[in-house]
Amino acid sequence: MKRVQRFLSAGAALVFGAGSVFLAGAPAGAAQVPALPAAEVSVPSQDAVPGIAPRDAAGTAVYLDGAGQVMSLPGEPQEVAEAAQFLCTPVSGRDNPHRSSTGVAVSGHGWWNKGNCDNDRARVYNCLYEWYTDNTWRQKACSPKETLKPGGGSTHRTVARRNCDTTAPTSWRNHVDVDVIGEADTSEWPYRQADVNCRVF
């Protein structure tokens, strides 16, 4: 399916916002997004460790993919908003990152509703990111891409999961991406954030 300003990568993605982003980290097979030139980004610290994100971290945070690479911005918010005028807007469902009910692991789910889209199938995936003390969100797990009906529930959702190394409190984000099949849709990649008693090194 074709999208205007579709910003998927084989790893994670970034952008800055307080509830939705327009960059996405994707399962293998998604289109690559070129990394920013070195002069435009801060180098992640090798000494950084997972922890609790401060309240003012959202506007300056950087996302790293599963290989530790910084991902580029998708474009100006105005450009995305202008493109959205011509696209349908699905509702991207996601829950807070949380401790799994089975085992010592962090988990998050993704699903969708139709919004103003016409078609009733979408390719959906979600990814979990852990906050580090150099103000990076680092990808730790992604679900497979699934073809789902709208509505959510236990049978119409994706799941990303990662076993914990310790149970120290740590900030996590669960991002979800929805790609409506056969219909051009908007490219936002919203998230929910929560502190979870799960830390991965």
Distance of CA 188 to the CA centre of its chain: 10
Look at the chain and count its residues: 201
pLDDT band of 188, cuts 50, 70, 90: confident
- In angstroms, the CA 81 to CA 143 distance is 28
CATH architecture label of 38-199: Sandwich (2.60)
Residues in contact with 85: Cβ distance below 8 Å, sequence separation at least 6, in sequence order: none
**In this predicted model, what pLDDT tens digit does every residue of 135-159 receive, in sequence order?**
999 999 999 999 999 998 888 999 9
Give residue limits of the domains in the chain.
38-199
Mean pLDDT for the chain?
80
Amino acid of residue 114: K
pLDDT above 70 coverage of the chain, percent: 72
Pick from 41, 61, 3, 31: nearest CA to 191: 61
pLDDT the model gives residue 38: 37
**In this predicted model, what pLDDT tens digit does every residue of 3-20 receive, in sequence order?**
333 333 333 333 333 344
**In this predicted model, what pLDDT tens digit does every residue of 82-110 receive, in sequence order?**
556 779 999 999 999 999 998 899 999 99
pLDDT the model gives residue 187: 82
**In this predicted model, what pLDDT tens digit does every residue of 36-59 receive, in sequence order?**
333 344 568 889 999 999 988 877
